[in-house]
Amino acid sequence: MSVPLWARALAHGIWRGYVYTQTALRLGWTRLNTLISSFPNRVRLWHAEPCTFPIEEQRLLLAEYYEQFERLAELICDAAFAGEGEPFQEEYAQLRRWHLRAYPHLKPYLIAHMNLDPSDAEFGLRVAGKPTDAIEALFIAETLEQLLQHDEGNLIGRLERARSALYRYGDYLRGLSESA
């Protein structure tokens, strides 16, 4: 094999490898881009796109959550005043299920406006085996009786911290919608 023929074959092989690699990279990039863009909004952190709710949607969610929170707070206060949770257990179970579904959507926003207290985290560790914040501590217990038994006198403060966080978050959203 002559040197020019050998050089031409080598150059052709290198060119084919280059074209093959470039095609494979383009195809891989297209597949990756399609995969990332197909993720729902909350998972698109890789793509550096914002994944927050629009302000109006946050306000609607907060209004609905606040209404259910007040029902829960009133129920807990009634049970604490009565000294037993058994008569209120059915309604507590229903509200607890609702809060367990709804709270994770608001938690990242509310936690920024909450006064954190170690007693809330300790309560969650005692009752459920995981630390909680003031709002989550109100519905983490399986039963209302369990919530009242493990309270240790922090229930009123916990309710005040939770309401305060909801109020501050509402004020924050009103400020954002007024400035927009």
Residue-wise pLDDT for 2-34, tens only, equals 877 777 777 777 878 787 788 778 777 777 766
| 36/60 same-domain check | no
| Residue 148 domain-assigned (yes or no) | yes
Could you read off the pLDDT of 121-158 as tens digits, one per residue?
999 999 989 999 999 999 999 999 999 998 888 899 99
Closest CA to 139 of 102, 84, 113, 86: 102
Distance from C-alpha of 79 to C-alpha of 84, rounded to nearest angstrom: 6
Distance from C-alpha of 44 to C-alpha of 134, rounded to nearest angstrom: 29
Let me know: does 163 contact 175? Beta carbons within 8 Å.
Answer: no
Cα angle 36-42-47, degrees, rounded to a multiple of 5: 35
- Residue 180, pLDDT score: 62
| 59/22 same-domain check | no
| Residue 169 domain-assigned (yes or no) | yes
Tokens standing for residue 169: 């978050």
- Residue 22, pLDDT score: 81
| 82/167 same-domain check | yes
| Residue 49 domain-assigned (yes or no) | no
Quick check: pTM over 0.75?
no
Domain span at residue 166 reads: 55-179
| DSSP letter string, 24-63 | HHHHHHHHHHHHHHHS-GGGGGGGT---PPPHHHHHHHHH
Number of domains observed in the structure of the chain: 2
Distance from C-alpha of 68 to C-alpha of 138, rounded to nearest angstrom: 12
Tokens standing for residue 166: 């909801």
| Residue 26 domain-assigned (yes or no) | yes
Mean pLDDT (the chain, rounded): 84
| 116/142 same-domain check | yes
| Residue 85 domain-assigned (yes or no) | yes
Q: Given pLDDT bands bounded at 50, 70 and 90, which one contains residue 40?
A: low
Which residue type sits at 80?
A: A
- Give just the sign of the alpha carbon dihedral 162, 164, 169, 170: positive
Closest CA to 120 of 169, 89, 155: 155
| Residue 173 domain-assigned (yes or no) | yes
| 7/94 same-domain check | no
DSSP 87: G
